[in-house]
Amino acid sequence: MGSAAPPVSCLPDVKGGTPMAQHVLDLLKERGFIAQMTFEDELYEQLKNPTTFYVGFDPTADSLHIGHYIPIMAMAWMQRYGHRPIALFGGGTGMIGDPSGRSDMRQMMTRETIDHNIACFKKQMSRFINFEGENGAIIANNADWLLDLNYINFLRDIGVYFSVNKMLTAECFKQRMEKGLTFFEFNYMLMQGYDFLHLNREYGCSLEVGGDDQWSNMLAGVDLIRRKEQKDAYCLTCTLLLNSEGKKMGKTQKGALWLDENKCPVYDFYQYFRNVEDCKVAECMRLLTFMDMDEIAELTKYNDERMNAAKERLAYEVTKLVHGEEKAEQARKQAKAAFGGNAEDMPSYEANGADNILDIMVGAGVAKSKGEARRLVEGGGVSIDETKLTVNDLTLSPEVKAKGSFILHKGKKVHINVKL
């Protein structure tokens, strides 16, 4: 991500943490966050009072990605309505790996790798979540209570509340039955349920919030608390961000849409949202920004070229939240320059005297390999300044070298100022 996070100054102010007039569940519904929830009427009453809730994150990488974004935004909204979030990092469950949504077994990670990833997550989340004040977020790591569990005691105390028959009907397990599900992974649901129980006992946490692919695991935790503790417990899942074809959004040509600028450059992040489908702009604004609903409706009411202004606003607002205002403004200028011809504001690349086009394309991030770069050239999708390249033009001409720089174009949307 960008520079050090501001004190959540970019989020809507809820003075003193006092809930606004609108109920937070009504707000989350209106903006399209909620996929499913348990005991809706009870939960509605519960959330009229300050409530401690948690969202879990398995630290499988050293950066959050766009798939984490919606639950984090739900956390931020709920915190501003007076509720207290717990960010639970799966230092223990991360050593098992969640089988949900997987057709294969996740790679096991070392304790050192997990701890490093958790540190990265904490830093990134500080842009969205306030960790200070009366309802400041709590940081928890389930390694603190899972890694030293006595297995026999755990089975006697917790295992008796889980039905194997019922577990096997869960979607996260059914997808794996044909290829094989290890007992190692089968324990994941018990561990996640135990997390909720521990947080309930330690902090009075009564609500779990997560992605909709976690529904089965979350239900297990709710059921465990209600049966074992005889207490109220709830779960709420957030919608997944899908494109018009029903596939998860958040993939670029270079891979996942990471929130760390070292894994996904700020300009690429901005351009991803600048180029979303027209039909998804309003939804992205509702879920990924704190823009007012009336303003969203006004900006996205068109079905013509005026939607470009809405896309630019979406890209700017999301980039500002993730990377800060300065870098969002820089990305916006770069995007305008790329289409308006102002080379100094474009993304730039120092070629350091290289004269092979394929090497330059790989170095500038336009292609992952020289083979891919060659295919792009063969397909007619690469130009230098105004001249389209062919496979016979893979070495810079003396004229281009003499200029000391040129604009490298890939298709209509990627433009880089290459300095020799």
Structure confidence at residue 6 (pLDDT): 34
Q: How confident is the model at residue 28 (pLDDT cuts 50, 70, 90)?
A: very high
373-395 pLDDT, tens per residue? 898 888 888 888 778 888 888 88
**Which residues are within 8 A (CB) of 234 and not within 5 positions of it... i.e. 6 or more apart?**
37, 38, 39, 42, 43, 46, 206, 207, 208, 222
- Check if CATH label 3.10.290.10 holds for domain 348-419: yes
Structure confidence at residue 400 (pLDDT): 82
**Which residues are within 8 A (CB) of 278 and not within 5 positions of it... i.e. 6 or more apart?**
303, 307, 311
**Mean per-residue pLDDT for 156-180?**
79
Selection from 281, 265, 242 nearest residue 335 by Cα:
265
Structure confidence at residue 20 (pLDDT): 59
Q: How far apart are CA 89 and CA 67, in angstroms?
A: 16
Q: How far apart are CA 222 and CA 231, in angstroms?
A: 9
Q: Is the pLDDT of residue 29 over 90?
A: yes
Q: How far apart are CA 175 and CA 28, in angstroms?
A: 30
Q: Is the pLDDT of residue 58 over 70?
A: yes
**Structure-model confidence comparison of residues 134 and 413, the more confident one:** 134
Mean pLDDT of the chain: 85
Q: Is the dihedral of CA 345, 351, 357, 361 positive or negative?
A: negative
Structure confidence at residue 101 (pLDDT): 47
214-250 pLDDT, tens per residue? 898 899 999 999 999 999 999 999 999 888 888 888 7
Q: How confident is the model at residue 281 (pLDDT cuts 50, 70, 90)?
A: very high
Compute the C-alpha angle 74/245/283, nearest 5°: 30
One-letter identity of residue 144? D
**Structure-model confidence comparison of residues 232 and 264, the more confident one:** 232
Selection from 74, 75, 82 nearest residue 17 by Cα:
82
Q: How confident is the model at residue 205 (pLDDT cuts 50, 70, 90)?
A: very high
Q: How confident is the model at residue 144 (pLDDT cuts 50, 70, 90)?
A: very high
Q: How confident is the model at residue 368 (pLDDT cuts 50, 70, 90)?
A: confident
Q: Is the pLDDT of residue 150 over 90?
A: yes
Q: Is the pLDDT of residue 307 over 90?
A: yes
Length of the chain: 420
Q: Is the pLDDT of residue 335 over 90?
A: no
Alpha helices in 341-417 (DSSP H): 357-363, 370-378, 398-403
Structure confidence at residue 108 (pLDDT): 66
Q: Is the dihedral of CA 341, 347, 351, 352 positive or negative?
A: positive
**Mean per-residue pLDDT for 300-321?**
94
Q: How far apart are CA 271 and CA 259, in angstroms?
A: 14
- Distance of alpha carbon 384 from the chain centroid: 35
Structure confidence at residue 19 (pLDDT): 44
Structure confidence at residue 2 (pLDDT): 40
250-262 pLDDT, tens per residue? 766 566 789 999 9
DSSP for 32-89 reads T-EEEESSHHHHHHHTTS--EEEEEE---SSS-BHHHHHHHHHHHHHHHTT-EEEEEE
Q: Is the pLDDT of residue 21 over 80?
A: no
Question: What top-level class would CATH report for the domain 251-342?
Answer: mainly alpha
Which range is least confidently modeled, 3-7, 129-133, 152-156, 276-280? 3-7
Structure confidence at residue 172 (pLDDT): 67
Compute the C-alpha angle 23/313/4, nearest 5°: 80
Contact status, residue 216 vs residue 210, Cβ threshold 8 Å = no
In 3-state terms, what secondary structure has residue 102? Answer: coil
Q: Is the pLDDT of residue 290 over 90?
A: yes
Q: How confident is the model at residue 340 (pLDDT cuts 50, 70, 90)?
A: low
Helix (H) or strand (E) holding 337: helix 325-340
Rg (CA), the chain: 24
**Which residues are within 8 A (CB) of 133 and not within 5 positions of it... i.e. 6 or more apart?**
17
Q: How confident is the model at residue 176 (pLDDT cuts 50, 70, 90)?
A: low
Structural domain boundaries in the chain: 15-238, 251-342, 348-419
Q: What six digits make up the tokens of 217? A: 């695991």
Structure confidence at residue 98 (pLDDT): 47
Helix (H) or strand (E) holding 210: strand 207-211
**Structure-model confidence comparison of residues 326 and 111, the more confident one:** 326
Q: Is the pLDDT of residue 55 over 70?
A: yes
Selection from 339, 335, 362, 336 nearest residue 418 by Cα:
362
Selection from 251, 181, 183, 240 nearest residue 214 by Cα:
240
Q: How far apart are CA 194 and CA 243, in angstroms?
A: 34
- Give helix then strand counts, H and E, for the chain: 19, 13
Question: What top-level class would CATH report for the domain 15-238?
Answer: alpha beta
Which residues are bridge partners to 208 per DSSP? 54, 235
Q: Is the pLDDT of residue 85 over 90?
A: yes
